[in-house]
Amino acid sequence: MLLAFLRRLARQPRGLVGAEDAQAQHSILLLSIYLTTIGALHIAAMMAFEGLGFGDAAWLTMTTVTTVGYGDISAASPAGRVATVVLIYIGGIFALAKGAGDYFDYRASRRLRMIKGRWRWNMKDHVLLIHAPKRGAEPYFDTLVRQFRETDWGRDRPVLILTEAWPEGLPPALQQLGVVHVHGRGDTQDALEMSDAARAAAIIILAEDHGEPKADSVAFDIIHRLREINPGCRILAECVDDRNRRRLRDAGASAVVRPMRGYPEMMVRAVVAPGSEYIIENLFTSRGDECVRYDVTVEGIAWGRLASELILKGVGTPIAFADAGSDAIECNPLASDRVDAKALYIMVKEGHATPVDQVRRMLREIQLSREAASASPS
């Protein structure tokens, strides 16, 4: 029992770091030396007082110290019994109490270190989130993690946050989601090692202050460090200043996005569907491509035909429509869906937007062609 306890205690400190690691290992070493000394002295006493050979004396010592007590060999002389009481009973009880006390102190310390983010979790294939937004960090991470959990890729994947935001422990809402954290900064090597960055499946580097361009310099440094220890990992970095995008990509970022605190879902899409972050960002800008609303009328045309005709005519790529009856926005309908719309949302190239009157004429032509096809005999 005591030996099993010591083996368990010896395994536990591998998660510790720094001075506490050394202290735990030192305590185990002293306890081991103490028990070895007691055992050696008792073996010598049994050989001297009971006239036993080394094998029998060692057997008696082991069966006594482990409280097995087979009874095939026992101390019979007064001196042998006194030696057993002093060395094994009193010394063994002291060692057990000391070891148990150290172990329970360690367990309490271990739990405290886990809560405060000073524990090495030994993770693999996890999502590592580096830094936390200065404002609204808890709801941001709550939504982000829940979105990961709703995907096949992230449903059972561990999530670890490397941040200085919560020195006393993560908010309960994040703990309930199974999130753990390491207290530290992403631009320090020790913190990255504690976070097992070398074995992460995906790493997201957040800008702590999305209005501070200096955050890009921090991200640049972190990306360099990460590429040295985890060359194949997908790294998504937030970029405050668009002029720094190329620098971050050249440093090794797999994807670079603007900070979007209201839409953590974008980060999830960028990880589980690489490249989708560019498409999403494209929808928010008027450079390159833009989403244009055309206030036009569509009556009973299948979405597949409508979309293909408009693409072939060079208008752009239809992505949604506003329902004529309910005003609801229907995104990415099925090809067979019949559309009754009062507006179309179309992705068009910058500088190539088709005038709305021209789109109306095209739609009338499509409508007339459909009606003609329906009226012709089969």
Q: What is the band of 6 on the pLDDT scale with cuts at 50, 70, 90?
A: very low
Q: What is the band of 278 on the pLDDT scale with cuts at 50, 70, 90?
A: confident
pLDDT surpassing 80 at residue 26? no
Protein fold of 2-115: Helix Hairpins (1.10.287)
**Confidence (pTM):** 0.69
Q: What is the band of 13 on the pLDDT scale with cuts at 50, 70, 90?
A: very low
Q: What is the band of 252 on the pLDDT scale with cuts at 50, 70, 90?
A: very high
Q: What is the band of 236 on the pLDDT scale with cuts at 50, 70, 90?
A: very high
Could you tell me where the DSSP H helices lie in the chain? 2-11, 18-49, 54-65, 78-84, 91-115, 137-149, 172-176, 189-194, 214-229, 245-251, 265-272, 276-284, 303-312, 356-375
Q: Looking at per-residue confidence, does 88 or 43 come out higher?
A: 43
Res 375: pLDDT: 61
At how many degrees (to 10) do helices 91-115 and 18-49 cross?
170
CATH number of 127-284: 3.40.50.720
Structure tokens at 212: 């501070």
User: How large is the average pLDDT for residues 222-250?
Assistant: 94
Res 16: pLDDT: 40
One-letter amino acid for residue 346 of the chain: I
Tokens 């021209």 identify what position? 358
pLDDT surpassing 50 at residue 15? no
Res 290: pLDDT: 84
User: How large is the average pLDDT for residues 264-272?
Assistant: 88
**Any idea which of 72-81, 84-93, 144-153 has the lowest mean pLDDT?**
84-93
Res 14: pLDDT: 42
Tokens 């309910």 identify what position? 326
**Any idea which of 3-7, 57-61, 98-102, 354-358 has the lowest mean pLDDT?**
3-7
Q: What is the band of 89 on the pLDDT scale with cuts at 50, 70, 90?
A: confident
**Any idea which of 68-72, 76-80, 297-301, 371-375 has the lowest mean pLDDT?**
371-375
Res 374: pLDDT: 66
Res 65: pLDDT: 73
Domain boundaries, the chain: 2-115, 127-284, 289-375
Res 376: pLDDT: 59
User: How large is the average pLDDT for residues 51-77?
Assistant: 79
Res 293: pLDDT: 93
Structure tokens at 44: 């010598």
Tokens 């569907």 identify what position? 273
CA 327 to CA 321: how far, in whole Å? 9
> Rg of the chain over CA atoms, in angstroms?
35
User: How large is the average pLDDT for residues 186-210?
Assistant: 94
Cβ–Cβ under 8 Å, residues 169 and 117:
yes
User: How large is the average pLDDT for residues 39-48?
Assistant: 86
User: How large is the average pLDDT for residues 99-104?
Assistant: 78
Q: What is the band of 241 on the pLDDT scale with cuts at 50, 70, 90?
A: very high
Res 55: pLDDT: 86
User: How large is the average pLDDT for residues 316-341?
Assistant: 94
The angle subtended at Cα 18 by Cα 29 and Cα 26, nearest 5°, is 10
pLDDT surpassing 50 at residue 12? no
User: How large is the average pLDDT for residues 348-373?
Assistant: 86
Res 24: pLDDT: 65
Backbone angles phi, psi at 178, to 5 degrees: 85, 15
